[in-house]
Amino acid sequence: MSQQVKVERDIQFIGDAKHSQNVEGPFHEKMVHFHDHFTDDTLSSDKWLATVTNATIAVDHATYSGGCALVTTDATNNETNFLSTPLCWQDDYNCICEAKILLTDVSGVVLFFGFSDATSEATPNMAIDYAGGVLAAAATNAVGIVCDAGDTVNGVSSIVGVGVNAGTLETAIDSGTDWADGEWHTLRVELDPDGDAYFYLDDTVFGYMSTAIASATRLCITYQSGNRDAAIDTIYIDRIDGWQDEVS
């Protein structure tokens, strides 16, 4: 019997195997894996550094079963909020982050998900956004995916890959997909040891950005959002995951 099985893409369990206990014995990942499906009673302060003075972020078991977080924005225009891990991720170890998110009112919010060198910014700033129709970064090094109702460059519902390297903004990459109200999307950012970024939308790569950040920067996985209108808006986060190679 082979001592090593190599798979080019993924393993799929189908038929009866999909619903059975399909792994017998230990199944250990060699990567560091962070996962939160928001199934706890409350938002974990051990996992998250939450800066939510201008909003609320809470575990919500009433709307969607299986666990999710409900973000409720402030009613004041351009107030922002942040949900970040500690600064324990690094491109040198091929770090990856992924989130599944639903926007209820795309025309009223701004969203950034990805990596940043700061766990929060002073409101109304975000790591990277399109406030006032101009791509801008409060972070020195950050890379992620933005959907901003203030984005008049790509379109107010466009899903866009962005990066800032040592204070210099990279050329944004439009996915070509608009986010519609009530839609779930899975956002994923992968970094390699050169600081290059790969952007994924719903498991399909839509962009590559060379030296998106300065390599060897310590990063957090961060969810950031805010409102772009004078009304309360809601966002749902089904889950957030992160991976990177184990330090040798």
Between 100 and 9, the higher pLDDT residue: 100
Question: Could you give the residue ranges of the DSSP H alpha helices within 73-210?
Answer: none
| pLDDT, position 208 | 98
For residue 181, pLDDT beyond 90: yes
Q: Considering its fold, how many domains does the chain have in total?
A: 1
pLDDT band at 6 (very low <50, low <70, confident <90, very high): confident
d(CA 85, CA 71) in angstroms, rounded, equals: 17
User: What pLDDT digit, counting tens, does each position of 61-87 carry?
Assistant: 999 999 999 999 989 889 999 999 999
For residue 8, being part of any structural domain is answered with no
| pLDDT, position 215 | 95
Q: Quick one: what percent of the chain has pLDDT higher than 70?
A: 100
pLDDT band at 1 (very low <50, low <70, confident <90, very high): low
Tell me the two tokens of residue 142. Answer: 């950050």
| pLDDT, position 232 | 94
Tell me the two tokens of residue 133. Answer: 């129709």
Residue 123: closest CA among 21, 196, 225: 225
For residue 191, being part of any structural domain is answered with yes
User: What pLDDT digit, counting tens, does each position of 128-170 carry?
Assistant: 999 999 999 999 999 999 999 999 999 999 999 999 999 999 9
For residue 7, being part of any structural domain is answered with no
For residue 216, pLDDT beyond 70: yes
Mean pLDDT, rounded, for 17-44: 86
Domain that holds residue 79: 32-245
**CATH code assigned at 207:** 2.60.120.200
d(CA 225, CA 132) in angstroms, rounded, equals: 15
For residue 14, being part of any structural domain is answered with no
For residue 52, pLDDT beyond 80: no
> What is the model's pTM?
0.94
Residues 6+ apart with CB under 8 A from 78: 123, 124, 131, 226, 227, 228
For residue 10, being part of any structural domain is answered with no
Mean pLDDT, the chain, whole residue set? 93
d(CA 239, CA 76) in angstroms, rounded, equals: 27
For residue 194, pLDDT beyond 70: yes
Does residue 141 contact residue 116 with C-beta atoms inside 8 Å?
yes
| pLDDT, position 7 | 86
Residues 6+ apart with CB under 8 A from 55: 71, 72, 73, 74, 79, 81, 225, 226
Tell me the two tokens of residue 242. Answer: 């992160």
For residue 17, being part of any structural domain is answered with no
For residue 207, being part of any structural domain is answered with yes
Residue appearing with tokens 């009112």: 105
Please state the φ and ψ torsions of residue 194, each to the nearest 5 degrees: -95, 0
Q: Which helix (H) or strand (E) holds 73?
A: strand 69-73
Task: Give residue 228's identity as a one-letter amino acid code.
Answer: R
